[in-house]
Amino acid sequence: MPVIIGAIIVLGAVLGGYVLSHGDIRSLWQPFELLIIGGAAFGAFVIANPAKVSIEAFKKSFAIIGKSHYTKIVYLELLAMLFELFSTMRREGLIAIESHIDDPKNSKIFSKYRLINKDEHVIVFICDYLRLMVIGDMTAYELENLIDAELETHHHEKMAPSHAVGSVADALPGFGIVAAVLGIVITMQALGGPPEEIGVHVAAALVGTFLGILLAYGFVGPVSTAMGHRAEEESKFYQCIKTSLIAAMNGVPPQIAVEFGRKTLYSDIRPSFEELEARVRGR
């Protein structure tokens, strides 16, 4: 919703100011300028990025229209699930969770937390490191370094679509100039003709520059930034898991281990201590 509201504000401010200044809105409709700018930008985008990144960029650019998945409710469910896993490990020993991490789909613990269980990558991430804890051949320091290495790769991969779209935003003003130059070339060909015709060609050329700048700073650039924020939110989710796992491996009680994870969260989606305690106690 903020994306749609922001786009309406941008268009309303630009076009509204233009119309109020007695501009003719029809003069801004230059489909061939859009073809030059949009086509060149898309072609450069395809050249610059692997197919995987290109496809992911289109998916993420539409996904930012909806709400973020990582809400307070999701974090409460995550921390409650980790608390139950850590409590089982502390009460019955590490071997007690082996059946759960070997078959999480049929696990009585994992199956209770549907908001988390539907994300297969998160479940695999948790199970992989719990399995390493069960094996017991690693120190907490070594495990933390291993998780950091995976999270760095994960973050780089998730930020790639944002960077790809950001590169398009940087290039759009240049493609606007390309469209404007081509418009001037057409204008030069029309010299000697009626002044009205020359004026139309000059206006079309200037609209090319206008469109390139507007698309870059009014739409594509902000979309790239919004995609980056979504990637940061996902990285924070895994950071919360990592902090809780390392705390549990260091022998911290389950309640305190999930408290470590809670403290890593941003303030707007961080559950309070009382909310977390009520959730892990089933109240």
Nearest Cα to 116, choosing from 225, 240, 27, 217? 240
Q: CA-CA distance, 41 to 168, in Å (whole number)?
A: 6
Confidence (pTM)? 0.86
Distance CA 205, CA 132 (A): 63
190's tokens: 């029309």
CB 95 within 8 A of CB 134: yes
Digits of tens for pLDDT over the chain (283 positions)?
A: 788 899 899 989 998 898 888 888 888 888 888 999 999 999 999 999 999 999 999 999 888 888 888 999 999 999 999 999 999 988 888 788 888 888 888 888 888 888 898 889 999 999 999 998 888 777 888 999 999 999 999 999 999 999 999 999 999 999 999 989 988 888 887 777 777 677 777 888 888 899 999 999 999 999 999 999 999 999 999 999 999 999 999 989 999 999 999 999 998 899 999 998 888 876 5
User: Distance (Å, rounded) from C-alpha 262 to C-alpha 114?
Assistant: 20
Q: Quote the CA–CA distance of 172 and 218 in Å, as a whole number.
A: 11
Question: What are the boundaries of each domain within the chain?
Answer: 29-283
Cα atoms in the Cβ-side hemisphere of radius 13 Å centred on 168: 32
